Structure 1
Amino acid sequence: MGAQPVVITRPGERGDVLAAAIEARGLPVARLEALRLEALPETPEQRAAWLDFDQFRRVVVVSPFAAECLAEALDRYWPQLPVGIDYYAVGAATAAALHQTLGVRVHVPPAAAGEDTSEALLQLGSLQRLDGEKILLVAGEGGRTLLAEAETLAARGARLTRLAVYRRTPLSPSPDMQRRLARGDFRALVVSSGEILEHLARWCTGAALNQPLIVSSARLATLAGKLGFRAPVVASGATPTALTTALAAACHSQEADVDQDDLEKG
């Protein structure tokens, strides 16, 4: 039997990058597709926002897939992007997606904010006084609604429009992955989404709950504890580097514990 893999749940190209970073550490990876992201059909509200896009002073985007959906919509209506709009992203991956698809400069929270960056974004000086400014918030349907952040922007005087441009559809793990989760047959589980963590918990038995769980924020670690995970390890953020560094530390700690047990038995 081969070495136990590290199970990762990040989808798409971002999952590819994370898998490569982990494999570069000499650890095998097993991919678990837990959510499917699907762009929503265009609504009259969306179409109105795209047509009047030049009237927005600031645009806040909450995920890489939201950035892709935004870019696709703007490509249909605006062959050349209007000027005078400031773009904001809640994390580095979203900022990179905006820059790649639209070629725009993007405001992001401080790097030290970790994964819970939406609140940190609100600390930026340019978002403190928004008297009468039109702001567009581009996000997914359901999930993390950023309700508190939206209320904060509105309280600062913003005229806020929130658009849901995609949905998340939970997926059951494959039969092989269900057995792996039930047996705890993995080196560690890496999760950077509360929605995915809650979804997968139903398949995790005691063996899985005792394995290291690498999460990207203290908020997720708290949720993990409530769901019964006994060994959450908090990474410094949601980037592949941060998650892989935390994973390596957890694996090293595991090996040290095994060596200590062998010494005590000897």
Structure 2
Amino acid sequence: MATPPVLICRPGPRAAALAEAIAAEGFAVERGEVMALEPLPETPAHRAAWLDFDQFRRVVVVSPFAAECLAEALDRYWPQLPVGIDYYAVGAATAATLHRQLGVRVHLPPPGGADTSEALLALGSLQRLAGQRLLLVAGEGGRALMAETLAARGARLTRLAVYRRRLLEPSPTLRRRLASGDYQALVVSSGEILGHLARWCSQAALNQPLIVSSTRLATLAGTLGFRLPVVASGATPDALAAAVARARDPERADVDHDDLEKG
């Protein structure tokens, strides 16, 4: 009988890198498509922000797909990128996308810490923003912490939603896995996806290891009934793959969360 796979439900192109990292740890991997990322049509607000892009002092980008949408828009409006703008990213994957697409230097949370909004907001250069024009590039909805904090610090903030997330019903194969618990671990790095998947999880699935990218998601997992959340040291493919390996190591069956870094 074939060894059950590790299930991953990361949307978009980043799922491939996560699958490769987990496979490198010696696990079979099965991808579940439960969320689609869709660029939003350009509105007058988008157009105004792109035309005035050189007026922004700082640009904060919250996800790799937001970075891709930003780069595509700037390519249309700015054949030569304006100078004098500081770029910020919540995570390493977003920073890598900005650097690859735009060739810009990107500010990140401190190394070794968490890739979270809170960690980015702790940077010294984001503490005093009085009168500075700042663009926040994100998806529709999401947590308001970033926008509220930047505005409270005095920034003249423009928040621009450039894509939407659309939840998809799990495939018959994924529904069967979640109904039977026939998998080694489930890897989720989005609260929206986690809540969506919980609807199909049997008690057997709730008792399987759940790999999450932050303590916030682990807390949510507990409220949804998951019994074995394991917090990775971040949302990168390597961090999530390492957490899968820890969860499946018999000597680490009872995960000591005090030994894990926050994601």
Indicate the TM-score class for this superposition, using the shorter chain for normalisation.
over 0.9
Once residues 254 and 244 of structure 1 are traced to their aligned partners in structure 2, the CA distance between those partners, rounded to angstroms, is: 17
The 3-state SS of whatever aligns with 1:160 is: strand
Please tell me whether the aligned partners of residues 7 and 29 of structure 1 are also in contact (alpha carbons under 8 angstroms): yes
> Which structure has greater helix proportion?
1
Alignment of structure 1 residues 204-243 onto 2, 5 Å: 204-243=201-240
Residue identity in the other structure for 2:136: L
Alignment of structure 1 residues 1-266 onto 2, 5 Å: 1-115=1-115, 117-142=116-141, 144-145=142-143, 147-253=144-250
Please tell me whether the aligned partners of residues 8 and 189 of structure 1 are also in contact (alpha carbons under 8 angstroms): yes
What's the CA shift for 1:36? 0.1
Once residues 255 and 45 of structure 1 are traced to their aligned partners in structure 2, the CA distance between those partners, rounded to angstroms, is: 51
Please tell me whether the aligned partners of residues 36 and 167 of structure 2 are also in contact (alpha carbons under 8 angstroms): yes
Please tell me whether the aligned partners of residues 211 and 231 of structure 2 are also in contact (alpha carbons under 8 angstroms): yes
Residue identity in the other structure for 2:138: A
Equivalences, count: 254
Q: Which of 238-247 and 64-73 deviates more?
A: 238-247
Once residues 222 and 26 of structure 2 are traced to their aligned partners in structure 1, the CA distance between those partners, rounded to angstroms, is: 29
The 3-state SS of whatever aligns with 1:112 is: coil
Residue identity in the other structure for 2:25: R
What's the CA shift for 1:256? 6.6
Tell me: CA distance 1:129–1:186, structure 2 relative to 1, closer, same or farther (3 Å). Answer: same
Tell me: CA distance 1:160–1:250, structure 2 relative to 1, closer, same or farther (3 Å). Answer: same
Once residues 113 and 199 of structure 1 are traced to their aligned partners in structure 2, the CA distance between those partners, rounded to angstroms, is: 28
What's the CA shift for 1:157? 1.1
Residue identity in the other structure for 1:191: V
* Corresponding position of 1:263: none
Superposed CA RMSD in Å reads 1.3
Please tell me whether the aligned partners of residues 135 and 160 of structure 2 are also in contact (alpha carbons under 8 angstroms): yes
TM-score normalised according to structure 1 size: 0.93
Q: Which of 119-128 and 202-211 deviates more?
A: 119-128
Please tell me whether the aligned partners of residues 184 and 211 of structure 1 are also in contact (alpha carbons under 8 angstroms): yes
What's the CA shift for 1:12? 2.9
* Corresponding position of 1:261: none
Whose Rg is larger? 1
* Corresponding position of 1:260: none
Once residues 10 and 240 of structure 2 are traced to their aligned partners in structure 1, the CA distance between those partners, rounded to angstroms, is: 11
TM-score normalised according to structure 2 size: 0.94
The 3-state SS of whatever aligns with 2:244 is: helix
The 3-state SS of whatever aligns with 1:12 is: coil
Please tell me whether the aligned partners of residues 35 and 166 of structure 2 are also in contact (alpha carbons under 8 angstroms): yes
What's the CA shift for 1:100? 0.7
Residue identity in the other structure for 1:89: A
Please tell me whether the aligned partners of residues 71 and 101 of structure 2 are also in contact (alpha carbons under 8 angstroms): yes
The 3-state SS of whatever aligns with 1:10 is: coil
- Unpaired segments ≥5 residues, structure 2: 255-263
Tell me: CA distance 1:242–1:83, structure 2 relative to 1, closer, same or farther (3 Å). Answer: same
* Corresponding position of 2:257: none
Please tell me whether the aligned partners of residues 114 and 216 of structure 1 are also in contact (alpha carbons under 8 angstroms): no
* Corresponding position of 2:260: none
Please tell me whether the aligned partners of residues 246 and 252 of structure 2 are also in contact (alpha carbons under 8 angstroms): no
What's the CA shift for 1:155? 1.6
The 3-state SS of whatever aligns with 2:25 is: coil
Please tell me whether the aligned partners of residues 12 and 36 of structure 2 are also in contact (alpha carbons under 8 angstroms): no
- Unpaired segments ≥5 residues, structure 1: 258-266
Once residues 229 and 254 of structure 1 are traced to their aligned partners in structure 2, the CA distance between those partners, rounded to angstroms, is: 21
Residue identity in the other structure for 2:100: Q
What's the CA shift for 1:13? 2.6
Once residues 10 and 49 of structure 1 are traced to their aligned partners in structure 2, the CA distance between those partners, rounded to angstroms, is: 30
Identity %: 74
The 3-state SS of whatever aligns with 1:111 is: coil
The 3-state SS of whatever aligns with 1:81 is: coil
Please tell me whether the aligned partners of residues 151 and 157 of structure 2 are also in contact (alpha carbons under 8 angstroms): yes
Once residues 253 and 41 of structure 2 are traced to their aligned partners in structure 1, the CA distance between those partners, rounded to angstroms, is: 52
